[in-house]
Amino acid sequence: MSERHTALRSMHDLGLAAWFGGSLMGALGVNGAAARVDDSTQRLPVASAGWARWTPVNAAAIGAHLAGSVGELVIESPRMARQAGVGKASAVKTALTVGALAVTGYSRMLGRKLERAGGPPVEGTTEPSYQTPASVAACQRQMKLLQWAVPALTGALVVVTAYMSEQQKPGQVLRGMLGRVGSLLVVSKLAGKAAGKGGPKIGKAVGMGAPKIGKFAVMGTPKVGKLAVMGGPKIAKVAAMGAATRHLVTAGR
């Protein structure tokens, strides 16, 4: 298999770049420019029109990024198993990707609601005025936070991707593999040590239990004999009394 995966890496990097750059430009450029429109009833429609034109491009960028990410994950899976630290970085990257997808999807849902609202008077795309309907104002307040969440998450993805690229250097790969081997040896040593300690403990418990059982048996035997000895005279006495009683009865007849 070839060690070059230019197409997958290009899809991954270009898609992420468009996702990050588009969300940041939209928050600063589209929303900022719409807030400068003189007619307060046209500010929201102008911003909605800009975001609607960007949505198909953004969707294509996200799709390209995800395709490249999955392809790289499949190809790099052997290195993830051998090199320490790669699996943790991949887990962090996956979590950030899921978070960015969720925020992007929810932001688009709120954007569609604002599009259907028409042209209510607003201060800006994410700033309601005192004349703004309550439902529209609620969506705007959420969008004010979410417009920065998407570039923050995708920017973190860029940083993690750069870190994972550093992990592919020969020196990092060698140190990571040696670290993984060392970890496996430590785990194996601890497991063997635990198994070795468990055996003597079980044997000791059994050994300690046997004398106690024997002691109970020995202690119980004299008691049984004593009871038998003590009971013998009583039984004989009862038998003698019975014989005397029968003799008297016979004599009376």
pLDDT at 81: 77
pLDDT: is 140 or 218 the higher one?
140
In Å, how far are 155, 223, 248 from 21, measured between CA atoms? 9, 93, 125
Q: For 160-176, what is each residue's pLDDT tens digit?
A: 999 988 877 665 555 65
pLDDT at 217 over 50: no
pLDDT at 165: 83
pLDDT at 87 over 80: yes
Q: Cβ(121)–Cβ(40) under 8 Å?
A: yes
Q: Cβ(67)–Cβ(13) under 8 Å?
A: no
Q: Cβ(15)–Cβ(63) under 8 Å?
A: yes
Which amino acid, 224?
V
Cα 172 from Cα 165, distance rounded (Å): 10
pLDDT at 210: 46
pLDDT at 194: 66
Which amino acid, 153?
L
pLDDT at 80: 74
**Predicted confidence band at 149 (pLDDT cuts at 50, 70, 90)?**
very high
Residue 32's nearest CA partner among 18, 58, 53, 50 is 50
Residue 107's nearest CA partner among 47, 66, 65 is 47
Q: Which class for 122: exposed (0-12), middle (13-18), buried (19 or more C-beta within 10 A)?
A: buried
**Predicted confidence band at 181 (pLDDT cuts at 50, 70, 90)?**
low
Three-state DSSP at 128 gives strand
Q: For 239-248, what is each residue's pLDDT tens digit?
A: 455 444 444 3
What residue ranges do the domains of the chain occupy? 6-168
pLDDT at 179: 62
Number of residues that make up the chain: 253
Q: For 26-41, what is each residue's pLDDT tens digit?
A: 999 999 999 999 999 9
pLDDT at 169: 62
Q: In which element (H, E) is residue 172 found?
A: helix 170-252
